Amino acid sequence: MSASRRVLLSALMASAIMMIATAMATAERPTDQAWDILQSTATNEHVPKRVSAMQVLQLLPGNARAVAMAEQGLVDKKPEVRAAAAVALGLMKSKAAVPIILAHINGEKDGDVVLAEAKALVELGEDKGYEVYYAVVSHTWKNGQGLVAQQEKELNEVLQNPKKMAYMAFQQGIGYVPFGGVGFTAYQAIRSVETGPNIVEATAIKVLGPDPDPRSGQLLVKTATTSKSTLVRAAAYDALARRGEKSLRDGILPGLEDEKEQVRLIAAAAVIRLSK
Residues 94 and 188 in one domain: no
- Asked if residue 142 belongs to a domain, the reply is yes
How many independent structural domains does the chain possess?
2
Pick from 129, 154, 174: which residue ends a domain?
Answer: 174
Residues 148 and 222 in one domain: no
Q: Give the per-residue pLDDT at 190.
A: 43
- Asked if residue 51 belongs to a domain, the reply is no
C-alpha distances out from residue 233 to 104, 145, 262, 274, Å:
35, 49, 10, 17
What are the tens digits of pLDDT across the range 104-137?
A: 887 888 877 888 888 889 889 988 887 777 666 5
Q: Which residues contact 171 (CB under 8 A, 6 or more apart)?
A: 80, 83, 84, 87, 112, 116, 185, 187
C-alpha distances out from residue 27 to 24, 95, 250, Å:
5, 31, 10
Residues of the chain with pLDDT under 50: 169-181, 186-187, 190-191, 193
Q: Give the per-residue pLDDT at 114.
A: 84
pTM of the predicted model, to two decimals? 0.72
Pick from 174, 190, 224: which residue ends a domain?
Answer: 174
Q: What domain range includes position 268?
A: 176-276
Pick from 174, 195, 227: which residue ends a domain?
Answer: 174
Residue 136: closest CA among 123, 120, 152: 152
